[in-house]
Structure 1
Amino acid sequence: MSKTNKLTKKDINKVFVRNLFGLQWGWNYEKMQGLGYAWVIMPALKRIYKDDPKGMQEALKLQLGYFNTTPAMSHLIIGADMALEEELGTEAEEAVAGLKTGLMGPFAGVGDTLFIAIYRAIVFSIAAYMAMDGNAIGLLIPIIACLGVIAIRYKFTMIGYNQGKKIATGFADSIAPITEGAAILGLTVVGALIAATINFKLDLTFKLGEVSLVIQEQLDKIMPCMIPLGIAMLSYWLLGKKKMNSTKLIFVLIGLGMVLGNLQNIINWIIGLF
């Protein structure tokens, strides 16, 4: 266990303020909000691993991983993350990774609906109509609503921190099952994201006389979403190569999409040569 100092209210407030403004800083296609997340939680890590440089390196490496969710909901995850790091140190590595991976997807779905779609539609519609009627209160409504959301986000930070602390202290002797469960949840969510975000169907049909065979239908019978899974596995494999990065991978996937999207025409052209 590699933990030294307890977090203060000032440390938690620093993390909260950073999360309000900095979670999206450094956004990129490879880690999404990962770089911003590491910057946000840095005050807590500096306190916890103040006298443990090696533990700090391990913790920072973990926090630089992939992360992406609705900013308003991220406070719950970051709050719990701080509590686990504080109570368990580097022993919480797998639990923290599973927590982040497992919750960011569901929280994004809830957060996008509440804090983006519904919030913007209601608040700005009311404000706009009042402003159009010449009512100055319409200018204040977005400000008041924004202050309300900030208060909710602070409450989320404290809820996440307190609940994470209960998990860490209440189940300190049985952290292994919790860690394993979090890891399984994270992997399950990642697997579901592949099928949900990579939507590609092979437009390829073989015809022989009156017989027509649609390749995509046959692949779906073998295993649904086989091609999205293959694309995801290829991407992970390529990213493991020394000179490969996310920018190069994007161009590789664009080229792959062009080839697969025109595979029928390419095959017909090849057949026509003979």
Structure 2
Amino acid sequence: MVSNVNTYKDLTPARPLDRATLNKMVWRSLFLQASFNYERMQAAGWLYGILPGLEKIHTNKEDLSASMSHNLEFFNTHPFLVTFVMGIVLSLEQQKADIPTIRAVRVAAMGPLGGIGDAIFWFTLLPITAGITANMALEGNIIAPFLFLVVFNVVQFAVRYWLMYWSYDLGTTAIEVLTRNAKEFTHAASMLGVFVVGALTCNYGATTIRIALQNGESVIDVQGILDGVLPQLVPLSLTLMVYFLIKKKGWSTIKCIGLLLVIGIIGAAFGIWGGNYTPLVEWYTLPA
């Protein structure tokens, strides 16, 4: 849907939006992807989110209709950072800027947020909070899963609120401020995420091989040989295998989990994996 109207009839700047309206739109931003589709992506959720602000800005029904029409066009951005775009667009709507300008700014603002949001939330915040709380859970702390949910959601809610007020106050200047060092910031956050994922793989995906082969009077410890080549080589290999299957072969995470489960069961049955258990088939010599 493309609006044929380029300017609003009432060009008088509207009064600034109150905090209650801004807060209401922050909460509505949670439903950004509620009606996601492959024609307009998040457009319906986007319009639902900013509608309270548009209704206060445009008292003229024809202007409100034109605003709703162009805000129902294709829209797609990171769901946790959408309030950044909301604040900028609402600032322009309040000033009664021409519709092509608002449309262009909306598209320009939503573009960079995908990489930035992924770097902040999926590559940094999620693995860090999951790693810390997973360690607590392994130690028997029942609070761990609840703490994970609280920390992750408190951070993303704080970001939503801050971005709404910050971008609304700055207007289009916020785009320049955000994108000035966006590439460097995204790269740094992604590198941090890689280190965190590597540490989690080492600590919580640690798998050892307990095979010990008899060679005359001596015993060859396979795990010791692997550690001499590269410590934690087995979990690294399994992680790279899963990455290859997902990235190159298009496997789903469910299929990868199923494959790892099969590998684990077969390995345990033949006593390949380390641990204190009795294998079904014991075909090697355990080290003394």
Q: Same fold (TM over 0.5)?
A: yes
- Shift in Å at residue 166 of structure 1? 6.9
Deviation digits for residues 216-246 of structure 1 (CA, Å, limit 9, x no counterpart): xxxxxxxxxxxxxxxxxxxxxxxxxxxxxxx
CA shift in 2, pair 1:85/1:43, >3 Å? same
Mapped contact 2:76–2:110 kept (Cα < 8 A): yes
Structure-1 separation of matches of 2:109 and 2:58 = 25
- Shift in Å at residue 137 of structure 1? 4.2
Tell me the TM-score normalised to structure 1 length: 0.56
- Superposed CA RMSD in Å reads 1.9
Which consecutive residues of structure 2, in runs of 5 or more, have no partner in the other structure? 1-10, 175-288
- Shift in Å at residue 29 of structure 1? 0.3
2:36 aligned residue: 27
Instruction: Spell out structure 1 runs of 4+ moving beyond 3 A.
Output: 2-6
2:141 equivalent among 104, 129, 135: 135
2:219 aligned residue: none
Mapped contact 2:126–2:152 kept (Cα < 8 A): no
In the alignment, does 2:162 pair up with 1:152? Answer: no
2:110 aligned residue: 104
1:16 aligned residue: 26
1:84 aligned residue: 92
- Shift in Å at residue 142 of structure 1? 3.0
1:53 aligned residue: 61
Deviation digits for residues 141-195 of structure 1 (CA, Å, limit 9, x no counterpart): 331231122112100111110111878xxxxxxxxxxxxxxxxxxxxxxxxxxxx
CA shift in 2, pair 1:93/1:2, >3 Å? farther
Which consecutive residues of structure 1, in runs of 5 or more, have no partner in the other structure? 168-274
- Shift in Å at residue 117 of structure 1? 2.5
Structure-2 separation of matches of 1:74 and 1:163 = 16
More helix by share: 1
Structure-1 separation of matches of 2:28 and 2:116 = 22
Letter in 1 for 2:85: I
1:214 aligned residue: none
Residue aligned with 2:98, SS: helix
Tell me the matched-pair count: 163
Structure-2 separation of matches of 1:145 and 1:4 = 36
Structure-2 separation of matches of 1:141 and 1:129 = 11
